[in-house]
Structure 1
Amino acid sequence: MQLTGEARAMFMASAHQRSHPAGAELIREADRDRRVFLMLAGEADVLAHSPEGRMVLFSRVVPGDLVGILAAIDGGARSTSVVARDAGRTAWVSPQDFQRLMREPDFAGAIHLHFVGLIRGLSERVYEFGTLLVRERLVRELLRLLAAPGDGPHLLDPAPSHMELAARIATHREAVSREMSRLARLGVLERRGRSLHVPSRARLAAALDTGEQIRPEP
């Protein structure tokens, strides 16, 4: 969740800051640590692994996101790991300080809104995983990654790897590679080095229809 305004100021008043390198494990799955952190700089991935070692990627943490709330509230073990994508900086509070903040109406209101958004997002994911084909899940995920408003053009830089996209939509890398090639043939996206160019959000969304064609628009 994005923590802003008065709620952020209240959190920072109780927090201690620390820096981390790329690849640092900020939170470890199944750990009993209950601290909460605010991402100040850098990005991180929220992920988990199946018993067979398959990675499931839940979300991306960006500056302003508050992470680790569930364990601080219910005292349970960590349900996911959080791994830094690059060097960054975080601000941490103890579970005791977090519980104290939750007694403040402004702060608690921000957390309640976060859980509403979380439930809505999980409902959408359950629907997608249970009813949609890989190609449909992939296009929806790419549309979610186009954070900038407007139809486009958009540039994802760096572009997520096929392995990362597969982890996001619960499939395997080969299926993603196959569908990305199909989308490139349709002309709705183009790989440019480390980046992914999407000329039009609307044209990418149209690829949800499996009637192929599309291409035009230079």
Structure 2
Amino acid sequence: MDGGRRSRAESGRPYKERDWPGASLLGRLGPADRDHLLTLGARVPYPADHVLMWEAEQTDHVLILLSGLVKVTGHADDDREALLAVRMRGDLLGELAALDGQPRSATVTTCGPVVTRTVPRAEFLACLRDRPRVAHAVNQSVVAKLRAANTHRVNFIGCDAATRLARVLHHLAMTYAERDGDSAVIRWPITQPELATLAGASEPSVQKALRRLRGKGVVTTGYRSIRVDGLEQLRSIGYSEA
């Protein structure tokens, strides 16, 4: 850790509004509130495949993700690990434990190198108390995550495994991948078991669906990456054929 607060200039380069996705916490804030939030806590870099938070651990700090991607996982009743979500730069992590003081609800692991600001609970809550616009943006962020989870479940009702997988891959490609026209590359490791949990399908069903997508030339799978060669075709498979 850097042991204290750092200004925008001290962090190496200024953070600009265009840097932050509009749906992220930092993207929801105005410049003054965003700049204040970015002075809280300590700036901390982490390597790939590093666990930032463990499910059920009794910690209550929050992390503001400045760069990189992380995956959020939890354990099902049969002890399988389920991929719950992916978070990107500008997102807030760990806010539930900070707000209610309960154990962590999920495990957060880095997908490649990331940089965060690690903010103690007391400092985070003081910011929410003193800056209503930040508190409102945090509330919006929590609600957006809940709505996304509900939409994810509802969209899968009545769909077969291949359709669900196509929808998952399309969402990941549109939200987190490097786009190039009708193609996109997801350059972070996502395993077939994780795809299966996201799609609410068995691993053999996902393997079969992936083979079909590869056979149609829609996706190409590689080491720690997935390339979508036809975003529009993938969207058609996931939605038009449902």
If the length of structure 2 is used for normalisation, what is the TM-score? 0.77
- Residue 131 of structure 1: SS of its match in structure 2? coil
Verify the 8 A CA contact 2:25 2:138 in the aligned structure 1: no
Is structure 2 residue 144 aligned with structure 1 residue 114? no
- In the TM superposition, residue 191 of structure 1 has moved relative to its aligned partner by 3.5
Verify the 8 A CA contact 1:39 1:90 in the aligned structure 2: yes
Where does residue 160 of structure 1 map in the other structure?
A: 190
- In the TM superposition, residue 182 of structure 1 has moved relative to its aligned partner by 1.2
Is structure 2 residue 210 aligned with structure 1 residue 184? no
Please, which runs of 5 or more residues in structure 2 have no aligned partner? 1-23
**What is the percent sequence identity of the aligned residues?**
25
> Any idea what the Cα deviations from partners look like across 1:50-84, whole Å, max 9, x if unmatched?
24320111112222221011111111111101012
Cα 1:195–1:145 shift into 2, 3 Å: same
- In the TM superposition, residue 27 of structure 1 has moved relative to its aligned partner by 0.7
Matches within 5 A, 1:59-208: 59-103=85-129, 104-147=131-174, 152-158=182-188, 160-191=190-221, 195-208=225-238
- In the TM superposition, residue 129 of structure 1 has moved relative to its aligned partner by 4.2
Verify the 8 A CA contact 1:35 1:72 in the aligned structure 2: yes
If the length of structure 1 is used for normalisation, what is the TM-score? 0.84
Where does residue 9 of structure 2 map in the other structure?
A: none
CA distance in 1, matches of 2:179, 2:48: 29
Q: Which amino acid aligns with 1:142?
A: L
Cα 1:123–1:197 shift into 2, 3 Å: same
- In the TM superposition, residue 6 of structure 1 has moved relative to its aligned partner by 3.3
CA distance in 2, matches of 1:210, 1:139: 11
Is structure 2 residue 41 aligned with structure 1 residue 15? yes
Where does residue 216 of structure 1 map in the other structure?
A: none
Cα 1:86–1:69 shift into 2, 3 Å: same
- Residue 141 of structure 1: SS of its match in structure 2? helix
CA distance in 1, matches of 2:104, 2:224: 33
Aligned length: 211
Verify the 8 A CA contact 2:186 2:225 in the aligned structure 1: yes
Cα 1:99–1:130 shift into 2, 3 Å: same
Cα 1:69–1:194 shift into 2, 3 Å: closer
> Any idea what the Cα deviations from partners look like across 1:10-38, whole Å, max 9, x if unmatched?
22222112232322221111112111011
Measured on the aligned residues, the alpha-carbon RMSD in Å equals: 2.4
> Any idea what the Cα deviations from partners look like across 1:114-167, whole Å, max 9, x if unmatched?
123112202212213443221121111111112367861223335633222113
